[in-house]
Amino acid sequence: MSSDELPHQGVLRPAPESFLSGELISAISRDGVDHHRRGLLRGAFGAAVAAMAGSAVASDPDILTPPEWSRTLGKPVATNPYGLPSIHEQNIIRRQSPGLTQTDQASVAFTPLQSMFGMITPSGLHFERHHQGWVDIDPRRHRLMINGLVDTPLVFTMEELMRMPSVSRMHFLECGANTALEWGNSAVPTVQYTHGMLSGSEWTGVPLSLLLERAGYDRRAQFLLAEGADGSSMTRTINMENALDDAIVAYGQNGEMLRPEQGYPLRLVVPGVQGVSWVKWLRRLEVGDMPYAAKDEASHYVDLMPDGSQRQYTAIQEAKSVITAPSAGQKLQTKGYYCITGLAWSGRGTVTKVEVSVDGGRNWREARLEGPVLPKMLTRFNFDWVWQGDAALLQSRVHDSTGYIQPQRAALVAVRGTRSIYHNNAIQTWRIAPSGEVDNVQLG
Amino acid sequence: MSSWARWSALFIACFFGSLAAAGDYPEAVFDIGRAATAEEVSAWDIDVRPDFKGLPAGSGSVEDGETLWLEKCALCHGDFGDSNEVFSPIVLGNVTEEDMATGRVASLTDPAVVRTTLMKVATLSTLWDYINRAMPWNAPKSLSPDEVYALVAYLLQLGYIVDYDFVLSDENIADVQALMPNRNGMTMDHGLWSVGGEPDVVGSACTRDCDVDTTVTSFIPDYAMNAHGNLKDQVRDYGPFPGVQTAPVSSAVVESQPAEPAAPEAVLMANGCSGCHRLEGALVGPGFDAIRERYRGQDVADYLTDKIKNGGSGAWGSMPMPPMAQVDDSAVAELVGWLLETN
C-alpha cells in the first residue's frame, strides 16, 4: 500500500481489553471470574460499548480516589543532593551486549535510545567504550602538554585551561563501530544494541585552535596526535583540518564536569569524527608531519574492504538516521495514531531532511525536524502515522547539507562487503507484525 | 610567535570559519600555561612513529622475549600469541611466503580466516609503541625498552618474520619493517579522512514506487531473542511501546535450593578485580569459583587479605597479581568474607 493512501488522522479505538485495568486482567487470569469480577467486567464492557458509540466512558478510579501521593507529605529538599531518576525508570540504563567482549575493561555499554527523547543524552546514560578500563583522575594533578612541531612545548594545569576563553557546543558522539554487529545479518534485538554507541551532548572547553595558536604550531603540519593519561594511554591521529576548525579541549558536559567514564577531567571533542578520536583523559597533543599508525588506527579501526585492503585513518561519521520508537523489542498496543520518532545526524554538516517509509523503502514521506537543527549534532525527527494493524517495514533516511543521502544496506554492502566492521551507516529496518511486535530485520 | 604566523592563523580561521582566531582574544590569553621542561617532554613523549622517530635505543632477543612472554603475556594471549580467549589472536599463521614478498596478506579476503594482528598491521612501530605504552594489561608502562624489543622480537618470530636467534634493535628495526607481511595492505584512498571527502556510496532520493527488494532476508530467530535478557525489562513498562516478553514465563514453583552467597559485584567492578578475575573460570587470574573451592572452610582470611592488598604470584601460576592497596579495608573484608562464605 502506498503510504500516501494512509489517512493523516485516525480515530483512536482501543481494543475492548484496553478498558480493563491490568489488575483486573491479572486477577482473572489467576483466579478466574467470580461474582464481583463479573460485575466489573460487565461494567467495563458496557462502558466500552458506550464509548465506541460516542457517549460516556467508565470513570477512572485513579481520578475518583486520590492516590497516596496526593494524600501524604512529600520528601524534603536535598533528599538526594545529586538528583536521581524516578524509581519507575529503572529499566532505562546502559547495557552490555553479552558475549561481545571477554573482559569488562575493553568493552561497551550501550545507550538506551529506545526510551529517550529530544537530542541531548543525559550524562549518566552516555554510552561507554573503554580500551583498558576507566579511571577517576585527580584534576589537581592532571596536566595537558602540547609538543612536537611547535615554537614552545607547553604545559597547562586544569586551573589554567578553565581560565581560558571557553566555548559551549552541542555535538553528537558516535563510535566508529556503532552498528558494526549488523553488517552481515540482523544480530542484536533492540536499537540500544544496534545504534546505542551514540550520544548528543553540550561540550564546554577551550577551542583547540586557540591552544595550538598559543603553542605556535607549525603551519605546514597536517597531523595531530592526541594521547590519554589512563593505563592504555590511547593515541589517535587527528586531521589538522578538524583540529583548527571546530575541535574543543573539553572539560564540561551538559553543564557539569565530564563524567569519569567520559574522560574526566579533560577530553578531546572532534565534531563529526568517530568517538575513538575524542581521546579521553587527554594528557598530550603532539603536532606532527605524518600520521602515527597507533594501535587503534593500524590494527583496529581499519575498514577491511572486499579486495583485502584496509582503509586506514577513516574518521568521518557519514550521515545516518534511525527510528528509536517504535523499534525492535517493543510492541504496539493498539491500532491508531502513532508518533514515529528517531534521530538523524551527519559528521559532514547539518541534517536537511529526514524521510520515513512504512513499506520497506518503496514510498517515503518527509518527517518533521524538531529544532534546533545544529551542525554535527543529533536532530530529533517525528512522523505522524496511523497503524491499521497490518504488517509494516519502518525505515528512516537522512539527507545532509552536502547533498549526501543515507544509503540502503544493500547499496553499502555492494561496495564495502560485510567485514569492514566500522562506519555502517545503512538505513535500518524495523518490522511490525500484525500482533504489534517490532523486530530487527534486513531486506533483500 | 611570529606575526606572520599570527596573520596566517587569522586568515585560516576566517577562511574556514573556525572557533577561534588569535585576533579574537586579548594578548593576555597567550600568557596562560608555561613552557614544558625538556625532562617533562621526554617523560611523556613516548610515541613511536612509523618512521621510528621516538624509538629509544636498545635491543632484545627472541629468546628473552619468549621467557618474558610466558611470564607476562601468555595468560591472556596464549603461549604462541594464538589465543582467542580474552583478546583477538595476534598470530595464527595464515600468511604465505608470497604475502611476505608482496606485502599483502591474501587471506584477508577469506571470510573463513580469523584476522590476526600480524595479518592486519602494516607498521612494526605500532607493535612497539602499543606494547610499550599499554602492556601488560594490568601493569601498563612497567616494561623496559629492552623488554619491549624482546617481546616484539618474539612476536615476529611467531609470525616467521625473523628466525629464533634474532635480536631486534633500534639499528635493524627499519630492515624488519620491510618484511612485514601486510606492509602494503593499507589505503587512504577513501573519503573518510577529511570532512570534505568524497563518499563512496550515496543513497537514492526516490520517494514513490521505488525499485527496492523488500524481501526479509535476515531476522533474529526466536531462540536468540532472549540472548540479551528479557526485552520487556529494557524499556518503560508503560507508554505506547512497552517491551516484548522474551524470557520464558514459568508457572512452576522452583524447588528452593541453598543459594550461593551473591557476589559483591559492585565491589568487584569498582575496584578493578573483574579485569582479571571472572566469577567462573580463569581469565588473567583464577576464577572466583576456583578460589572459593580451594579455600572453602579454611581459616585463611588474613592470608587472602594480604594477597589482595599486597599481591603476589605462584599460588595460581606465574602471572603476578599486582598489589591492590587502593581497595579500602571494608571492601577487602567484604570480598574475603564472600570468598570464605563467612559474611
Give tens-digit pLDDT for A115-171.
999 999 999 999 999 999 999 999 999 999 999 999 999 999 999 999 999 999 999
For B235, name the nearest residue in chain A, comparing CA atoms only: A91
Q: Residue A296 contacts by C-beta under 8 Å, 6 or more apart in sequence?
A: A131, A234, A235, A236, A276
Q: Encode pLDDT of B122-142 as tens digits.
A: 999 999 999 999 999 999 999
In chain A, where the domains are located = 13-64, 98-311, 320-441
Find the CB nearest B203 among A186, A311, A407: A407
The pLDDT-based confidence of B1 (bands split at 50, 70, 90) is: very low
Is the pTM value of this prediction over 0.90?
A: no
Question: Nearest C-alpha of chain A: how many angstroms from B298?
Answer: 30
Q: What Rg do the C-alpha atoms of chain B give, in angstroms?
A: 28
The reply to whether residue B1 touches residue A216, judged by beta carbons under 8 angstroms, is yes
The reply to whether residue B20 touches residue A365, judged by beta carbons under 8 angstroms, is no
The reply to whether residue A233 touches residue B244, judged by beta carbons under 8 angstroms, is no
The reply to whether residue A361 touches residue B214, judged by beta carbons under 8 angstroms, is yes
pLDDT score, position B297: 83
Q: What is the mean pLDDT of chain A?
A: 91
Question: Chain B interface, mutation test: which of A31, A145, A330, A335, most B Cβ atoms within 10 Å?
Answer: A330
The pLDDT-based confidence of B342 (bands split at 50, 70, 90) is: confident
Neighboring chain A residues of B13 at a CB cutoff of 8 Å: 209, 244
User: Distance of alpha carbon A163 from its chain centroid, rounded?
Assistant: 32
Residue ranges in chain A whose pLDDT is less than 50: 1-19, 28, 45-46, 50
Where is pLDDT greater, at B207 or B296? B207
For B105, name the nearest residue in chain A, comparing CA atoms only: A308
The reply to whether residue A114 touches residue B115, judged by beta carbons under 8 angstroms, is no
CATH code linked to domain B265-339: 1.10.760.10
CATH code linked to domain A320-441: 2.60.40.650
Residue A37: closest CA among A48, A49, A26, A52? A26
For B3, name the nearest residue in chain A, comparing CA atoms only: A216
The reply to whether residue A314 touches residue B51, judged by beta carbons under 8 angstroms, is no
pLDDT score, position B230: 97
The pLDDT-based confidence of B2 (bands split at 50, 70, 90) is: very low
Question: Nearest C-alpha of chain A: how many angstroms from B33?
Answer: 5
d(CA B90, CA B81): 5
Residue A312: closest CA among B55, B188, B244, B163? B188
pLDDT score, position A146: 98
The pLDDT-based confidence of B273 (bands split at 50, 70, 90) is: confident
pLDDT score, position A36: 57
The pLDDT-based confidence of B263 (bands split at 50, 70, 90) is: confident
Question: Nearest C-alpha of chain B: how many angstroms from A17?
Answer: 15
Question: Chain A interface, mutation test: which of B8, B16, B19, most A Cβ atoms within 10 Å?
Answer: B19
d(CA B291, CA B310): 17
Question: Which CATH code, of 3.40.630.10, 3.40.50.2000, 3.90.420.10, 3.30.70.340, is assigned to A98-311?
Answer: 3.90.420.10
Can you point out the beta strands (E) in A244-291? Answer: 248-253, 256-257, 267-269, 282-288
Q: What is the mean pLDDT of chain B?
A: 88
d(CA A121, CA B188): 33
Question: Chain B interface, mutation test: which of A4, A209, A242, A338, most B Cβ atoms within 10 Å?
Answer: A209
Fold of B59-177: Cytochrome Bc1 Complex; Chain D, domain 2 (1.10.760)
Stated as kind and residue range, the H or E segment containing A202 is strand A198-207
Neighboring chain B residues of A309 at a CB cutoff of 8 Å: 104, 185-187
Residue A181: closest CA among A112, A98, A114? A98
Question: Chain A interface, mutation test: which of B236, B249, B324, most A Cβ atoms within 10 Å?
Answer: B236
d(CA B78, CA B184): 28
Specify the range with the lowest mean pLDDT, choosing from B3-17, B29-43, B87-101, B260-274. Answer: B3-17
> What is the CB-side half-sphere exposure of residue A2 using CA atoms within 13 A?
6
The pLDDT-based confidence of B12 (bands split at 50, 70, 90) is: very low
Q: How many beta-carbon pairs below 8 A join chains A and B?
A: 375
> How, if at all, do strands A310-311 and B186-187 pair?
parallel
The pLDDT-based confidence of B35 (bands split at 50, 70, 90) is: very high
In chain B, where the domains are located = 3-33, 59-177, 265-339
pLDDT score, position B306: 84
The reply to whether residue A427 touches residue B228, judged by beta carbons under 8 angstroms, is no
Q: Residue A185 contacts by C-beta under 8 Å, 6 or more apart in sequence?
A: A442, B218
pLDDT score, position A20: 52
The pLDDT-based confidence of B285 (bands split at 50, 70, 90) is: confident
d(CA B73, CA B167): 19
d(CA B163, CA A158): 49
Neighboring chain A residues of B115 at a CB cutoff of 8 Å: 304
pLDDT score, position B258: 52
Give the cell for residue A156: 597547562
The reply to whether residue A290 touches residue B8, judged by beta carbons under 8 angstroms, is no
Question: Nearest C-alpha of chain B: how many angstroms from A327?
Answer: 8
The reply to whether residue A105 touches residue B209, judged by beta carbons under 8 angstroms, is no
Please name the amino acid found at residue A337: Y
The pLDDT-based confidence of B323 (bands split at 50, 70, 90) is: confident
SS3 for A392?
A: strand
Q: Residue A404 contacts by C-beta under 8 Å, 6 or more apart in sequence?
A: A318, A319, A346, A348, B199, B202, B203
The reply to whether residue B134 touches residue A326, judged by beta carbons under 8 angstroms, is no
Residue B191: closest CA among A383, A272, A335, A254? A272
pLDDT score, position A31: 54
d(CA A389, CA A433): 8
Question: DSSP of A287-348, one letter per residue?
Answer: EESS----GGGTTSS-EE-TTS-EE-S--B---EEEEEES-TTBB--SSEEEEEEEEEE-TT
The pLDDT-based confidence of B85 (bands split at 50, 70, 90) is: confident
